[in-house]
């Protein structure tokens, strides 16, 4: 099952393989099903845990029905984390104020529905896709599935396999949703990430080449010219100049 951990006070250190994630007060994380996580309290912590077996559904829709803006880049993280909205904090604080209700399953289902209605209206579709990335399948929202999984694939055929589709069906669905070829779109996403790294201060072309799998500078330079309309050196210089 998927578990969502709401840290009301204190802090938790979440370990997942080599990934370490500190979750502090008024933050919450989504832990994927079938994965091993170790949570260690850093201080005296108060945690509310929600375990999900079924889909998140209410109002005849589910939380994945909205469309994100084109070219949205979603961080792919083992332990996605969001800041807790004050309205959600108040809801969770009131969960156990009536002890007689604590053992009532219908009460908890009602509050879970209220919680997810809040999450749906208080956060953006991009935040939904980021936080619930481990739960999204291609039948839920094809666009969101692609945005969350494209960087796990080495190429178009592998991405189609992740979606459980034949290559021809996947390409057709992709064209319907993105109005672009799969290959061109994936290269565009890589270019956007390269530009984001440069904008965030990375000024080593060698480091960028190693990170994004370019063996030769001429290949890297040609890629940047095609997708970012400038060479790596020109991009780095333009960011430094402000």
In tens, the pLDDT along 52-77 reads 865 554 444 445 555 555 555 667 78
pLDDT value of residue 109: 86
Topology of the domain comprising 2-135: Jelly Rolls (2.60.120)
Mean pLDDT, range 38-43, rounded to an integer: 91
Domain ranges of the chain: 2-135, 142-179, 183-241
- Please indicate whether residue 185 or residue 54 has the higher confidence score (pLDDT): 185
pLDDT value of residue 58: 42
Strands of the chain (E only): list them. Answer: 2-9, 11-16, 19-24, 27-31, 38-41, 46-52, 57-58, 61-62, 81-83
Q: What is the pTM of this model?
A: 0.58
The string of pLDDT tens digits covering residues 96-144 is 888 888 888 889 889 988 998 899 899 988 888 888 877 766 655 687 7
| Mean pLDDT score of the chain | 86
Number of other residues whose CB lies within 10 A of the CB of residue 220 = 20
Burial of 160 (0-12, 13-18, 19+ CB in 10 A): buried
Residues of the chain with pLDDT > 70, as a percent, come to 88
pLDDT value of residue 73: 62
The string of pLDDT tens digits covering residues 161-175 is 988 889 999 999 899
Confidence of residue 93 (pLDDT cuts 50, 70, 90): very high
pLDDT value of residue 100: 87
Question: d(Cα 50, Cα 62) in Å, to the nearest integer?
Answer: 17
Is residue 202 predicted with pLDDT exceeding 80? yes
Mean pLDDT, range 10-28, rounded to an integer: 93
Candidate from 13-22, 83-92, 145-154, 208-217 with smallest mean pLDDT: 145-154
């Amino acid at each position: 099952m998927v578990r969502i951990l709401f840290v009301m006070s204190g802090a938790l250190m979440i370990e997942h393989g080599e990934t370490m994630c500190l979750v502090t007060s008024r933050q919450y994380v989504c832990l994927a099903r079938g994965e091993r996580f170790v949570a260690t309290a850093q201080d005296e912590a108060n945690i509310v845990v929600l375990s999900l077996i079924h889909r998140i559904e209410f109002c005849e829709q589910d939380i994945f029905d909205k469309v994100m803006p084109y070219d949205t880049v979603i961080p792919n993280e083992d332990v996605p984390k969001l800041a807790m909205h004050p309205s959600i904090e108040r809801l969770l604080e009131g969960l156990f104020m009536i002890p007689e209700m604590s053992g009532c399953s219908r009460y908890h289902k009602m509050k879970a529905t209220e919680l997810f209605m809040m999450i749906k209206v208080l956060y953006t579709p991009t935040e939904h896709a980021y936080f619930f990335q481990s739960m999204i399948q291609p039948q839920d929202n094809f666009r969101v599935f692609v945005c969350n999984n494209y960087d796990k694939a080495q190429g178009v055929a592998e991405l189609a396999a992740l979606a459980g589709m034949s290559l021809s069906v996947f390409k057709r669905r992709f064209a319907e949703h993105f109005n672009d070829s799969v290959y061109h779109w994936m290269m565009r996403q890589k270019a956007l990430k390269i530009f984001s790294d440069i904008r965030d201060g990375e000024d080593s072309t060698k480091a960028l080449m190693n990170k994004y799998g370019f063996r030769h500078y001429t290949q890297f330079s040609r890629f940047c010219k095609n997708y970012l309309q400038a060479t790596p050196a020109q991009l780095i210089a333009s960011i430094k100049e402000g």
